[in-house]
Amino acid sequence: MFTRRHLLGAAAAVAAGATHLAGQTVGAAKPVRPVVLSTWRHGLAANEAAWKILSSGGRALDAVEAGARITESDPNVLTVGYGGLPDRDGNVTLDACLMDEKGDCGSVAYLQHIEHPISVARRVMETTPHVMLVGEGALKFALENGFKKKELLTDRAKQEWEKWKTDHPDAVKERQVNVENHDTIGIVAIDAQGNLSGACTTSGMAWKLNGRVGDSPIIGAGLYVDNEVGAATATGVGEAVIRAVGSFLVVEFMRQGHSPQDACRLATERVVEKNPDWKQLQVGFIALDKRGRVGGYCLQPGFDYAVYDQSGGNRMVKSKSRVAL
């Protein structure tokens, strides 16, 4: 029975900062902020750039964009921006999106020759009535907005591509879905004001068919932010993430009262349900809630993510996985 004592208890918890989610009172611990987290080891450098902004009181959106730009410029990251591995015809084609605390979002897909697709996505969000621009139109928009053309195919990426072609003479028939050839950066943050934003940027799956677009620039799949609840982003085989509308699903699980960690696990279970070939795939999610709690989960062992907050500094966290080591 729900007594007056329960009611008073619940009221006190709310006053102390607890949240009611789906009828459940979640603990009243003081929110942690700012916090930034991002996928894979390259997330450490991205977090550093984001933290500079967050620790001086800056906006989460500026922080995630700054973080994503670091990875986009790094030629040693073969899965994002400059230096990214090309499609099977040798084209480096980039996908990126971002989303802010107001629910505003911007996205580009199949963008070529531009080092910072994440900043083009932000320009789409801030200066056009649209969410998403693709291909030639996205390139034209970028050039009109002052972005400069750059050769994104580095010698190293070209050599890898040539080696791949030699090793895979029958490549056109192959489905490139193994756990090795992708590593997007997704980055989500909460700022000192308690506002959430996220960004996601990638060169997509290596050796993809020309024209292929993955989950990363698709709002709800590769990234989702709801400032009342939390933010989530995905990495791994984009087709599998799209089928589950993965990042939106993680946020919806948090809305129902699940911790970021559980929300990522439950969304991973949905990926399993929707993808009969899930044992051959890698998918990973990371999430952050409005109280600054973080979590991550993946299908196969090997996924990790970088977390930066005041008390713990910038560190790698090994993700739990559906398949045990």
d(CA 288, CA 283): 17
Token digits of residue 299: 């299908």
Smallest distance from the beta carbon of 183 to ligand ASP, in angstroms?
Answer: 5
Q: How far apart are CA 265 and CA 28, in angstroms?
A: 23
| 233 catalytic residue (yes or no) | no
> DSSP secondary-structure letter at 278?
G
Which is closer to ligand ASP, CB of 79 or CB of 197? 79
Helices assigned H by DSSP within the chain: 4-15, 43-54, 60-73, 117-127, 135-144, 155-167, 238-244, 246-255, 260-274
Residues that bind ligand ASP (CB under 6 A): 79, 182-184, 202, 204-205, 214-216, 235-238
Distance CA 87, CA 276 (A): 25
Considering the complex, what minimum distance in angstroms separates the CB of residue 136 from ligand ASP? Answer: 20
Q: What one-character DSSP code corresponds to residue 40?
A: S
The least CB distance from residue 165 to ligand ASP, in Å, is 20
Query: With the C-alpha atoms ordered 123, 125, 126, 130, is the resulting torsion angle positive or negative?
Result: positive
The minimum distance between CB 31 and ligand ASP, in angstroms, equals: 29
**Closest CB to ligand ASP among residues 246, 292:** 246
Cβ proximity to ligand ASP, 71 vs 259, nearer residue = 71
Task: Out of 71, 184, 233, 235, pick the active-site residue.
Answer: 184
Name which of 54 and 237 has its Cβ closer to ligand ASP.
Answer: 237
Task: For residues 287 and 250, give the distance between their C-alpha atoms in angstroms, rounded to a whole number.
Answer: 7
CB 224, min distance to ligand ASP, A? 14
Q: CA separation (Å) from 208 to 110, 115, 132?
A: 12, 20, 21
Nearer to ligand ASP, 106 or 204 (CB): 204
Q: How far is the CB of 18 from ligand ASP (least distance, A)?
A: 35
Q: Which of 143, 137, 149, 88 is nearest to 113 (CA)?
A: 149
| Structure token digits, residue 217 | 């620039």
Nearer to ligand ASP, 77 or 263 (CB): 77
The neighbour count for residue 273, using CB atoms within 10 Å, is 11
Which residues are marked as active site? 184
